Amino acid sequence: MNDRFLRACRRESVDRTPLWIMRQAGRYLPEYRELRARVDFLTLCRTPELAVEASLMPIRRFDLDAAIVFSDILLPLESLGCELSFDPSPRIARPLRSSEEIAALRPRPVAEVVPYVGDAVALLRRELSGRVPVIGFSGAPFTLAAYLTEGHGHDGFPAIRALRAADPAALGTLLDTLSVMVTEHLELQIAAGAQAVQIFDSWAGILSPADFAAFALPAVRRAIRGLRRYHVPVIYFAPAAGHVLELAATTGADVLGVCWRTPLDAARRLTGGRVALQGNLDPAALLAPPARVRERALAVLDEAGDEPGHIMNLGHGILPGTPVASVEALVAAVAERERRTA
Ligand code: 1CP
């Protein structure tokens, strides 16, 4: 098996830096857009054969070192009785706002609510037959709480910041509930064959360092602690969170995802080599001509340095308008570096 991704997660030596791309199974691919023209997003997520088809699209096209299951971080929120829709961005029918609503939550087991996520992981693992490892994923408790309270994506997510001010104990209760859900969601995927898992804390960067330390961090730590016994690498990714980078390195995750705002050499210094790093080419760099993509990618590899424990990726999800030729240039740049150092 191509295990350079798993080796890099464990900070072991590799023949070349592994590469995968956040949101690699997405709208920049013509074959994905074709599939989505036939089926709506939720049907795609809930039909393992179709979800696996989407996961395999980037693997068939590019020499990538990991596949990610096709799903969404918000799907397990249905275990709390939420009604979700996507058109194409997500909406939650009745956002949670009061401590009464939070105290009344009676979560159903995640495995009963999203069994199709486990089925997709198992089928993906079978289809890949060892070609590259399978990554499972979940939202982090804080980011899920941000959507649950707001009801949809929103710049700065004011509803959760208002809840933090009005009723911090209720926010604590909500995060406790979500920590259990995140552990269950990832256990489901690990049991089905996921060989690594990534936790997306997409909105933790809206918090001050004190609030990150008091709310987002303990909640994700608890979720990760529940996974230790499986010995599967855990990646924690909180974009726009350079102001809490040192705290973000203490979640218990093996790998810290770094967005493009923080140089990898600075991240390495601040984390003292205690975690592997993943990232961090600016997704917008892939909108430049291929020769520029190559330059920018090689600059990221230079910043990452020669020590083991770097996984090449973008600093956030790939943008929908990205040309396929840019991804090809990125893959070629990573392969080129192998020849230079070999
Ligand atoms: O096809 C479509 O038009 C729907 C767009 C889409 C896709 C392709 C959504 C709706 N979700 C997904 C799949 C998805 N989501 C994946 C698997 C694909 C892959 O990685 O290759 C993953 C890992 C996610 C994770 C996800 N969903 C995050 C975390 C990543 C990040 O960018 O920070 C978040 C915040 C979501 C919520 C979500 N789902 C969809 C959208 C458009 C959003 C963001 C909405 C918002 O905040 O406004």
pLDDT above 90: residue 265: yes
Q: Is 27 exposed, middle or buried (0-12, 13-18, 19+ CB in 10 A)?
A: middle
pLDDT digits (tens, 9 = 90+) for 295-311: 999 999 999 999 999 99
Does residue 230's CB lie within 6 angstroms of at least one atom of ligand 1? Answer: no
- Tokens representing 54 are 């989407």
Averaged pLDDT, 209-228: 98
- What average pLDDT is seen over the chain? 96
Alpha-carbon distance of 106 to 71, in angstroms, equals 24
Q: Which atom of ligand 1 is nearest to the CA of 316?
A: 32
The CA distance from 73 to 77, in Å, is: 8
Task: Tell whether ligand 1 has an atom less than 6 A from the beta carbon of residue 90.
Answer: yes
Among protein residues, the one with the nearest Cα to ligand 1's atom 7 is: 26
Ligand 1 center to residue 117 CA distance, Å? 15
What is the domain class of 4-336 according to CATH?
A: alpha beta
Q: What is the pLDDT of residue 341?
A: 52
pLDDT at 147: 98
Q: Is the pLDDT of residue 286 over 70?
A: yes
- The residue whose C-alpha atom lies closest to atom 20 belonging to ligand 1 is 23
Atom of ligand 1 nearest to the CA of 239: 33
Query: What pTM did the predictor assign?
Result: 0.97
CA dist 320 and 33 (Å) reads 10
72 C-alpha to center of ligand 1: Å?
6
Output the pLDDT for position 338.
79
- Give the pLDDT of residue 87: 85
At residue 88, the pLDDT reads 84
If you measure from the C-alpha of residue 79 to the centroid of ligand 1, how many angstroms do you get, rounded to a whole number? 19
Residues across the chain: 342
Q: Give percent of the chain with pLDDT exceeding 70.
A: 99
Radius of gyration over every alpha carbon of the chain, rounded to an integer in angstroms: 19
Q: Residue 340: pLDDT band by 50, 70, 90 thresholds?
A: low
DSSP string, 316-337: SPPPTT--HHHHHHHHHHHHHH
pLDDT digit string (tens) for 233-249?
999 999 999 999 999 99
Q: What's residue 199's pLDDT?
A: 99
| 3-class secondary structure, 198 | strand
What is the dihedral sign for C-alpha 17, 70, 89, 221?
negative
Virtual torsion, Cα 296, 297, 300, 302, nearest 10 deg: -100
What pLDDT shows up at residue 258?
A: 98
Q: Which of 46, 72, 148, 201 to mutate to test the pocket of ligand 1 (most atoms within 8 A of CB)?
A: 72
Residue-level pLDDT at 339: 54
Mean pLDDT over 113-134 rounds to 98
> How far is it, in rounded angstroms, from Cα 53 to Cα 126?
12
Q: How far apart are CA 253 and CA 220, in angstroms?
A: 9
Q: 41 pLDDT exceeds 60?
A: yes
Nearest to 247 by CA among 287, 204, 308: 204
Please tell me the predicted confidence (pLDDT) of residue 300: 98
Whether 324 shows a pLDDT value over 50: the answer reads yes
Ligand 1 centre to CA of 90 (Å) is: 9
Question: Cβ(72) to ligand 1 under 6 A?
Answer: yes
Q: Answer yes or no: are the C-beta atoms of 201 and 142 closer than 8 Å.
A: yes
Residue 145: pLDDT above 90? yes
Q: Atom of ligand 1 at shortest distance to CA of 24?
A: 21
Q: Which of 11, 28, 65, 72 is catalytic?
A: 72
Q: Report pLDDT for 249.
A: 98
Beta strands in the chain (DSSP E): 67-68, 84-86, 90-92, 134-139, 196-200, 234-237, 255-257, 276-281, 310-314
Distance CA 90, CA 95 (A): 12
Instruction: Identify whether 229 is a catalytic site residue.
Output: no
In testing the pocket of ligand 1, which one of 23, 38, 117, 278 has its CB within 8 Å of the most ligand atoms? 23
Q: How confident is the model at residue 57 (pLDDT cuts 50, 70, 90)?
A: very high
Cα distances (Å, whole numbers) of residue 51 to 40, 150, 171, 301 = 12, 28, 33, 31
Where do runs of H (alpha helix) occur along 129-252? 141-150, 158-166, 168-192, 209-211, 217-225, 245-248
Contact 163, 171 (CB under 8 A): yes
As a whole number of angstroms, the distance between CA 169 and CA 160 comes to 12
